[in-house]
Amino acid sequence: MLIEAVSYPIRYAWPKGEIRLIPGQPVDVPEERGTKILKKCGGKVRVVGPATIGTMIQFRSPLFGFCTGRVLSVEVETVRIGEHSVVKEIVKIPRLWITKIFGEQTG
In a domain, 107, yes or no: no
- Residues 62, 94 within the same domain: yes
Contact 9, 19 (CB under 8 A): no
pLDDT value, residue 31: 80
- Residues 63, 32 within the same domain: no
- Residues 40, 61 within the same domain: no
Is this model's pTM higher than 0.75 or not? Answer: no
Split into its structural domains, the chain has a count of: 2
- Residues 31, 10 within the same domain: yes
Q: Determine the structural domain holding residue 78 and report its residue range.
A: 56-102
Q: Per-residue pLDDT tens for 6-62?
A: 889 999 888 888 999 988 788 888 888 888 888 888 788 887 777 788 989 889 899
In a domain, 24, yes or no: yes
